[in-house]
Amino acid sequence: MSASTLDVPTTTRRSFGNAVGLTCRACGARQELGPFYACIECFGPLEVRYDFPTITREQIEAGPKSIWRYQPLLPVPADIAAIPNTDPGFTRLVKADNLARELGIKTLWVKDDSGNPTHSFKDRVVAVALSAARELGKTVLACPSTGNLANAVAAAAARAGIRSVVFIPENLERPKVITTAVYGGTLVAVRGNYDDVNKLASEIAGEEEDWAFVNVNVRPYYAEGSKTLAYETAEQLGWRLPEQVVIPVASGSQLTKVDKGFTELGELGLVEPTPYRIFGAQATGCSPVAQAFRDGHDVVRPVKPDTIAKSLAIGNPADGPYVLDTCRRTGGAVEDVSDDEVRDGIQLLARTEGIFAETAGGVTIATLKKLLETGQLDPDAETVVFNTGDGLKTLDAVADRVGPAATIDPSYPDFVAADLA
């Protein structure tokens, strides 16, 4: 069954806020709102189209301290904040002066999304997808995941009182398995990597009409949640855009939606539409987009992932070509770093700013350093990097690098003998 032939009620404009339809990103064909993720003309990816009314900064600032302050800019009903959900967003934007001095960059910020309810940015996208699932009459919330999405879907479904079914690669980090299973949904380990899990999920989504796979058949709505990272960053900077951003790349959706968010703010007159450059960050063990960027290709060739950064280990990224277009169009780049550099990045951010990032954050910080060293990133331009998850989920990445400086008896002479004063 194709994604476009699912038998569902025609949706109303009101239930999806100011969203008025779906548009193919490849050919521009338009479709009605529904559980569709592929164009009926060319099978290209779909994204949400809006008819925005006049929106003011004052309206947004009067809203709740969550992503729902941007309700008029999302495909969600007007009363979304009153419906039980995990209320993600409005995470801190940290001025990273210590890290900036260490790297030799003038002005640096860290948008720290580890403060979300399940400690990653995935709570943003799941909250929007859950709203779409409700409006479309779906009864099961599901996903294929590399870990953080699994946490977010299981938690959001528990809060909403609906069933969740989460599919993960069998070799996922143990903390991410536990922090998904604890919410009580159905957790299924699949033999294979994420691309194998995603393929299975796509097959199930075509057969189980009551299931909303957040990143498959309701993906256009899910992806819109990433725009809130751009909105918050601009608002927290005093309603202006940064000059440069560095964003980790898995499927690539987050990077392209941050670009969409910045563009929308400019078009709506909420910020001055100043130029910005977008940079993508990947681990060398799964870097198909970085490789395509370096080679000057428009097509991303799939790879078999082999990296400690499992949350970015998508060998066939759906938004890969759009990441290339976004980074080239804005004057940015896509780079990759080794697993040892990822560990260095985690420790560097923790040592300088007291922020413990998961491996994706280590990829981002290490890539920031590499971009500066290679002259691709301007050290005098204001830069924001995105930390998308909590280091407590990927402790094994640095477990063999850190520990006590010494083990001593509880006596002052032993303390002196250990040369710790």
Q: pLDDT band at 415, cuts 50/70/90?
A: very high
Residue 88 lies in a domain: no
Question: What mean pLDDT is predicted for residues 106-127?
Answer: 97
Q: pLDDT band at 421, cuts 50/70/90?
A: confident
Q: Is the C-alpha dihedral spanning 281, 45, 117, 67 positive or negative?
A: positive
Q: Tell me the C-alpha distance between 206 and 216, whole Å.
A: 10
Q: Are residues 146 and 101 in the same domain?
A: no
Q: 6 pLDDT exceeds 50?
A: no
Residue 4 lies in a domain: no
Q: 12 pLDDT exceeds 90?
A: no
Q: Are residues 261 and 207 in the same domain?
A: no
Q: Is the C-alpha dihedral spanning 399, 402, 407, 410 positive or negative?
A: negative
For residue 98, the number of C-alpha atoms closer than 13 Å in the C-beta half-sphere is 9
The domain boundary, picked from 192, 219, 246, lies at 219
Contact between residue 332 and residue 385 where contact means Cβ atoms under 8 Å apart: no
Instruction: Count the domains in the chain.
Output: 3
DSSP for 302-333, please give it: P----SS-GGG--SS-TTHHHHHHHHHHHT--
Residue 365 lies in a domain: yes
Question: Kind and range of the H or E element at 419?
Answer: none
Residue 192 lies in a domain: yes
In this predicted model, what pLDDT tens digit does every residue of 196-231 receive, in sequence order?
999 999 999 999 999 999 999 999 999 999 999 999
In this predicted model, what pLDDT tens digit does every residue of 254-290 receive, in sequence order?
999 999 999 999 999 999 999 999 999 999 999 999 9
Which of 283, 337, 342, 343 minimizes the C-alpha distance to 313? 283
Q: Are residues 243 and 255 in the same domain?
A: yes
Q: Are residues 193 and 248 in the same domain?
A: no
Contact between residue 337 and residue 391 where contact means Cβ atoms under 8 Å apart: no
Q: 348 pLDDT exceeds 50?
A: yes
Helices vs strands, H then E, count in the chain: 14, 13
Q: Residue ranges of the alpha helices (H) in 214-284?
A: 219-224, 227-236, 253-267
CATH of the domain at 180: 3.40.50.1100
Q: pLDDT band at 10, cuts 50/70/90?
A: very low
- Six token digits for residue 164: 């969740």
Q: What is this structure's pTM?
A: 0.93
Q: Is the C-alpha dihedral spanning 285, 198, 220, 321 positive or negative?
A: positive
Q: Which residues contact 203 (CB under 8 A, 6 or more apart)?
A: none
Which of 10, 73, 348 minimizes the C-alpha distance to 231? 73
In this predicted model, what pLDDT tens digit does every residue of 349-358 receive, in sequence order?
999 999 999 9
- Given this model, what pLDDT does residue 5 score? 31
Q: Look up tokens 């997808």; give the residue.
A: 129
Q: Are residues 130 and 198 in the same domain?
A: yes
- Parallel, antiparallel, or unpaired: how do β-strands 211-213 and 140-144 relate? parallel
The domain boundary, picked from 155, 190, 219, lies at 219
Q: Are residues 254 and 371 in the same domain?
A: yes
Largest CA distance in the chain: 78
Contact between residue 24 and residue 36 where contact means Cβ atoms under 8 Å apart: no
Q: Tell me the C-alpha distance between 103 and 80, whole Å.
A: 42
Q: Are residues 205 and 310 in the same domain?
A: no
Residue 79 lies in a domain: no
Tell me, what amino acid is at 369? K
DSSP for 367-397, please give it: HHHHHHHTT-S-TTS-EEEEE-BBGGGGGGG
Contact between residue 270 and residue 238 where contact means Cβ atoms under 8 Å apart: no
Q: Are residues 129 and 214 in the same domain?
A: yes
Residue 416 lies in a domain: no
Q: Are residues 225 and 336 in the same domain?
A: yes
For residue 68, the number of C-alpha atoms closer than 13 Å in the C-beta half-sphere is 18
Q: Look up tokens 């799964």; give the residue.
A: 286
| 3-state DSSP assignment of residue 137 | coil
Q: Residue ranges of the alpha helices (H) in 43-147?
A: 57-61, 97-103, 122-135
Residue 411 lies in a domain: no
- Given this model, what pLDDT does residue 13 score? 45
Q: 9 pLDDT exceeds 70?
A: no
Q: Tell me the C-alpha distance between 95 and 236, whole Å.
A: 11
Contact between residue 108 and residue 365 where contact means Cβ atoms under 8 Å apart: no
Q: 14 pLDDT exceeds 70?
A: no
Query: DSSP code of 185?
Result: S
**Mean pLDDT computed over every residue of the chain:** 94
Q: Are residues 353 and 285 in the same domain?
A: yes
Which of 108, 62, 94 minimizes the C-alpha distance to 81? 62
Domain of 64? 19-70
Q: Are residues 115 and 128 in the same domain?
A: no
Q: Are residues 287 and 386 in the same domain?
A: yes
Q: 183 pLDDT exceeds 70?
A: yes
- Six token digits for residue 316: 């066939």
Residue 405 lies in a domain: no
Q: 317 pLDDT exceeds 90?
A: yes
